[in-house]
Amino acid sequence: MDKKVLVTGGCGYIGSHTVVDLIENGFEVVVADNLSRSNPVVFEGIEAITGRKVENFAGDLAEPAVVSAIFEKHPDIAGIIHFAAYKMVGESVLEPYMYYRNNLNSLLNLLEACKQFGLQNFVFSSSCSVYGNADALPVNENAPIKDAESPYAHTKQIGEQIIEQCNAAYDLNYMLLRYFNPAGAHPSALIGELPIDRPQNLVPYITKTATGELEQLSIFGNDYPTEDGTCIRDYIHVMDIAAAHTAALKTMLTKPSSEWSRVYNLGAGEGKSVLEAVQTFEKINGIKLNYRFAERRAGDVIAIYGDNKKAREELNWELKYSFEDILKSAYDWEVALKEKNQ
């Protein structure tokens, strides 16, 4: 393929796994990550896995000059995969302005650059949270977009609408990839989820409780109208998510837009409750986890899981990892991290 791709947020969790998959599929990758929510040590992991040192532009994409400098140095960028955004549901409820400013300004600058430099192919990191509390499950791409349950989800809804308007105005090729709950780590345990502060997502909180870094997991609510009273989510291995981005870009670069869609759900296609995740983690890793049931968390939807049929059929993409693989690889990564930091 030997095409050059700009991956914004490429030092982040999903971004770094996608960089590895792109390189292993013959792409040349340039990263733009201001390291505000990621650790440059991730680049060492990418190099250890792929043998490639990846160039990173560490400026803030919310500054137009930072974006122009990237395209002036690399006018041959064939596609952009835009991950760079804040993504914590709970935090966005407390800091809405920070989320709207960061997530939307960086997107607007990149879209401006696409127009200025004539770049056609734009893959947007969106989220199942655009569906809000979906009426029917599994949710497919035609499900109505309901009121966002958090400012984070709202920035993804607005981002999708901005991109659609840019396509209408000047024919920007784009795909909106709506992730469900990415989790797990690269099988080598050389890269994985690396939250800068205390993790807000379930799986890293579980693994850090299991290694003793954190004292106890709080399960936010066990009085929901679900089988065991805890929320339901669609956990998908980060490696499957990464492969879907490579498949999406390959599709955009090799097939006419009449042969693919604009929106794809990236989920495993089944719902697992928080308690199921805890119990499966204990079983697969032979560990007793210290947890308690606590109050519900603002911004949480009760249940959501996706229908991934369209992505599987149109992007030539298949899931390779199971729910158990997610929880095993996440723990293996956490143990490796703890050993490295000792």
Whichever of 70 and 194 has its CB closer to ligand WQD, that residue is: 194
- Give the residue numbers annotated as catalytic, written as ranges: 152
161-190 residues near ligand WQD, rule: CB under 6 A: 179, 181
Least distance CB 268 / ligand WQD (angstroms): 13
Query: Tokens in use for 304?
Result: 């959501």
Whichever of 198 and 255 has its CB closer to ligand WQD, that residue is: 198
Phi, psi (deg, nearest 5) at residue 218: -100, 125
Number of amino acids touching ligand WQD (CB under 6 A): 21
Least distance CB 205 / ligand WQD (angstroms): 4
d(CA 73, CA 298): 43
Place of tokens 């939807």: 301
Whichever of 113 and 301 has its CB closer to ligand WQD, that residue is: 301
Q: Identify which of 282, 307, 252, 214 has the alpha carbon closest to the alpha carbon of residue 122.
A: 252
d(CA 188, CA 332): 9
Query: Tokens in use for 181?
Result: 């709950």
Residues 195-214, mask of contacts with ligand WQD (x by CB under 6 A)? -----xxx--x---------
Considering the rule CB under 6 A, would residue 127 count as an interface residue with ligand WQD? yes
Q: What is the DSSP string of 217-286?
A: EEEE-S-SSSTTSS-EE-EEEHHHHHHHHHHHHHHHHHS-GGGS-SEEEES-S--EEHHHHHHHHHHHHT
Whichever of 300 and 325 has its CB closer to ligand WQD, that residue is: 300
Least distance CB 152 / ligand WQD (angstroms): 6
Least distance CB 26 / ligand WQD (angstroms): 27
Least distance CB 276 / ligand WQD (angstroms): 11
Among 129, 207, 285, 308, contact with ligand WQD (rule: CB under 6 A) = 129
Query: Tokens in use for 297?
Result: 């968390």
d(CA 247, CA 319): 12
Whichever of 71 and 152 has its CB closer to ligand WQD, that residue is: 152
216-255 residues near ligand WQD, rule: CB under 6 A: 217-220, 231, 233
d(CA 219, CA 212): 17
Least distance CB 177 / ligand WQD (angstroms): 9
Whichever of 78 and 203 has its CB closer to ligand WQD, that residue is: 203
Whichever of 158 and 253 has its CB closer to ligand WQD, that residue is: 158
- Give the binding range for ligand WQD (CB under 6 A) out of 5-13, 87-95, 130-138, 159-167: 87-95
- Give the binding range for ligand WQD (CB under 6 A) out of 25-33, 45-53, 54-62, 194-202: 194-202
280-309 residues near ligand WQD, rule: CB under 6 A: 297, 300
d(CA 228, CA 92): 27
Query: Tokens in use for 168?
Result: 């209408």
Q: Which residues contact 297 (CB under 8 A, 6 or more apart)?
A: 89, 90, 220, 221
- Give the binding range for ligand WQD (CB under 6 A) out of 81-89, 246-254, 257-265, 308-316: 81-89
* CB crowding 223-251: b at 16 or more within 10 Å, else e: ebebeeebbbbbbbbbbbbbbbbbbbbbb
Phi, psi (deg, nearest 5) at residue 241: -65, -45
Least distance CB 34 / ligand WQD (angstroms): 18
Q: Which residues bind ligand WQD (CB under 6 A)?
A: 87-89, 127-129, 179, 181, 200-202, 205, 217-220, 231, 233, 274, 297, 300
